[in-house]
Amino acid sequence: MSKPTYYITTPIYYSSGNFHIGHCYTTVICDAIARFKRMDGYDVFYLTGTDEHGQKVQQKAESAGVTPKQFVDKLYDQIVRLWKVLNISYDKFIRTTDDYHEQTVQKIYQKLLDSDDIYKSHYEGWYCTPCESFWTESQLVDGKCPDCGREVKLQQEESYFFRLSKYQDRLIEFYRQNPDFISPKSRMNEMINNFIKPGLKDLCISRTTFDWGVKLPFDPKHVAYVWVDALGNYITALGYLQEDHSLFDKFWPADLHMVGKEIVRFHTIIWPALLMALGLPLPKKVYGHGWVLFDNDKMSKSKGNAVDPFFLADRYGADAVRYFLLREIPFGSDGVYSNEALLNRTNADLVNDLGNLVSRTTAMITQYFGGVIPRPNGYNKLDRELIDLCEGTLAQVRADMDALSAPDALTDIFKIVQRANKYIDETTPWTLNKNGDKERLATVMYVLAECIRFAATLLVPFVPTTAQKIFDKLGLPLPADFDAIKRFGGIGDGVTVTKGENLFDRIDIDKELKELDKIAAEKNVESQKNSPQVPQITIEDFAKVKLMTAKVIACERVAKSDKLLLLKLQTGDEVRQVVSGIAQYYTPEYMLGKTVVLVSNLKPVKIRGVESNGMILCAADGKNVVFVTPEQDIGSGKEVR
């Protein structure tokens, strides 16, 4: 009989570099689920990958002075290395720059055009470049992107639109018939109330202001909207619309799209509507997990608080990192990362509970039975309690994993570990030994070895390296599935244990936290050393710069440049023209009537053959550029000092 299939996906990651521990969350959870399902008899396909197109990548590559492909290649190498370090057992890694993916996205667009699900029009909306999302005025929060809180800019362009509005009723009906489609439940309400009820608008699904993307086959000056390109990965990776579509036939629809809560909207509205338009079955579940927070803020590199998973895995072991993420972050809601929490968790569960049980048991079997696990001699009531616990735990853990709750699954597995530790205290094997009660001692040792075997088998999906080490110590092969723990009593004759090194070394938490602070401080000094020294200037130096307010009375794009705007500025009675490199951040229409701050005594220069008399002040953070404006209207031509 063929095995049931299970198709699980992570989102494909933005190639933004410097991955932090929060990034590892989705992938580690999916890995635990995928490994669990494999051991539980499913034919699993676990997909992950990278999301490599879009304006953001193009801009970053430009600032780094490399091509977009060179830029994403470097980040691809980094993320593949990260998943290797963390032992991620994906079956396929897709890159949106893979040829087959790009070609299939083109076929998808063509199919949508042929079925009249796409039409050409104009788009005007507020665009958040970091999130690659368009927003309507009413969706903005304090005029900023509702997802990330950053600046948005008004953008207008010729675009193709997907008839999303046409699918509104079908989506509502689908949710009604599949109440578990969006999980946890709260996210379903969020989607319906915030997005569906106000009315779905057709979706702009092509861009013309940059070209790092999949070109539309019927209008190549347009590139595919990154989200359509990215969401498509879930089916292109399986061979949809390709010659070999056997994986697609076998695994689609997906059993689970695991995503962070901020991208549930794309996966539960846009993605199902696109699939409906393509005439394909919809995924069975989208789970929106919470965030790993850092000091109660979403961890993000741009906020300067990234925590390096390579460093943590190297210092404490990949399994300590995996265990922390799976056990400590309450599934479905947000959780907080701190070094202290990681170290406490490691010491309490991995060193004290698990490590102690394994080392005490292997040491006693070595001391009392020359290392060979003895045969049991009949079980008493106490033993039966442990046997029942072991035999009942798989069903319990399976229920936890069906509810996608790794913290609950680990809590249940650790009940065996904790119960077994208590059993050592209750049976006091050293007394049995002293009293010469070898028969009872043999049973106790056997029960303990079996408890370890049960716990370690169940731990394989979560902490695979540690589980392997435990099986090595027990002198048993790593089990490939859960069949081996259906019945207590699986350890046969003549199995020899080895005590060897500790599974995890106890961490002196105070000392280690100080050490981590020292390392962080050294890193800071290092990065300051590497940043160029800015020379100090005197007030007289500064006075040489004549700054004044100026009003934009006309504005247009500089011909053949996608970066430059030509601004006509009123400064008191005078009008002058300035060329500014802000075309990717502001439209001419938006700039009209705005007051800017002008460096008025710059020597005139020609930029792209156009004379520029001065420069306008802008603030930049490497992603966004925003112009500086007076806090209140003060008129044009006023001195700024």
Q: Which residues contribute to the site for ligand MSP (CB under 6 A)?
A: 11-14, 22-23, 25-26, 51, 230-231, 259-260, 262-263, 291-292, 298-299
- The phi, psi pair for 155, rounded to 5°, reads -135, 140
| Token duo for residue 496 | 């020899």
Residue (133 or 580) nearer to ligand MSP, CB: 133
- The phi, psi pair for 285, rounded to 5°, reads -155, 140
Position closest to ligand MSP via CB? 260
Sign of CA dihedral 124, 128, 132, 135: negative
Report, in Å, the least distance between residue 486 CB and ligand MSP: 35
| Token duo for residue 497 | 């244990």
| Token duo for residue 11 | 């989102």
Report, in Å, the least distance between residue 18 CB and ligand MSP: 11
Q: Please choose, from the candidates 357, 371, 312, 360, the residue with its C-alpha nearest in 3D space to the C-alpha of residue 338.
A: 312
| Per-residue burial over 462-501, b = 16 or more CB atoms within 10 Å of its CB, e = otherwise | bbbebbebbbebbbbeebeebebbeebebbeeebebebee
Residue (302 or 418) nearer to ligand MSP, CB: 302
Report, in Å, the least distance between residue 263 CB and ligand MSP: 5
Residue whose structure tokens are 């800019």: 153
Residue (128 or 230) nearer to ligand MSP, CB: 230
Report, in Å, the least distance between residue 11 CB and ligand MSP: 3
R_g (Cα) of the chain, nearest Å: 30
- The set of residues, in sequence order, having a beta carbon less than 8 Å from that of 162 and lying 6+ positions away, is 112, 117, 118, 202, 203, 205, 228, 273, 274, 277
Report, in Å, the least distance between residue 444 CB and ligand MSP: 44
**Residue length of the chain:** 641
Residue (166 or 298) nearer to ligand MSP, CB: 298
The amino acid at residue 485 is I
Report, in Å, the least distance between residue 14 CB and ligand MSP: 4
Residue (235 or 459) nearer to ligand MSP, CB: 235
Query: How far, in Å, CA of 607 to CA of 613, rounded?
Result: 10
Residue (51 or 408) nearer to ligand MSP, CB: 51
Report, in Å, the least distance between residue 206 CB and ligand MSP: 17
The rounded Cα 255 to chain-centroid distance in angstroms is 19
Q: Are strands 5-9 and 256-260 parallel, antiparallel or unpaired?
A: parallel
Query: How far, in Å, CA of 464 to CA of 412, rounded?
Result: 17
Report, in Å, the least distance between residue 15 CB and ligand MSP: 8
Tell me the β-bridge partners of 335.
292
Residue (154 or 336) nearer to ligand MSP, CB: 336
Q: Please choose, from the candidates 23, 104, 29, the residue with its C-alpha nearest in 3D space to the C-alpha of residue 256.
A: 29
Query: How far, in Å, CA of 328 to CA of 325, rounded?
Result: 6
Report, in Å, the least distance between residue 598 CB and ligand MSP: 38
Residue (405 or 613) nearer to ligand MSP, CB: 405
Query: How far, in Å, CA of 143 to CA of 126, rounded?
Result: 9
Report, in Å, the least distance between residue 19 CB and ligand MSP: 8
Report, in Å, the least distance between residue 42 CB and ligand MSP: 23
Tell me the β-bridge partners of 127.
134, 153
Q: Contact at 8 Å (CB) between 549 and 638?
A: yes
Report, in Å, the least distance between residue 414 CB and ligand MSP: 24
Residue (4 or 330) nearer to ligand MSP, CB: 330
DSSP letter at 141 equals B
Report, in Å, the least distance between residue 458 CB and ligand MSP: 25
Query: How far, in Å, CA of 209 to CA of 195, rounded?
Result: 27
Residue (321 or 394) nearer to ligand MSP, CB: 321
Residue (14 or 248) nearer to ligand MSP, CB: 14
Q: Contact at 8 Å (CB) between 286 and 259?
A: yes
Q: Contact at 8 Å (CB) between 45 and 25?
A: no
Q: Please choose, from the candidates 28, 31, 37, the residue with its C-alpha nearest in 3D space to the C-alpha of residue 4.
A: 37
Residue (135 or 454) nearer to ligand MSP, CB: 135
Neighbours of 99 (CB within 10 A): 8
Q: Contact at 8 Å (CB) between 431 and 368?
A: no
Residue (87 or 577) nearer to ligand MSP, CB: 87
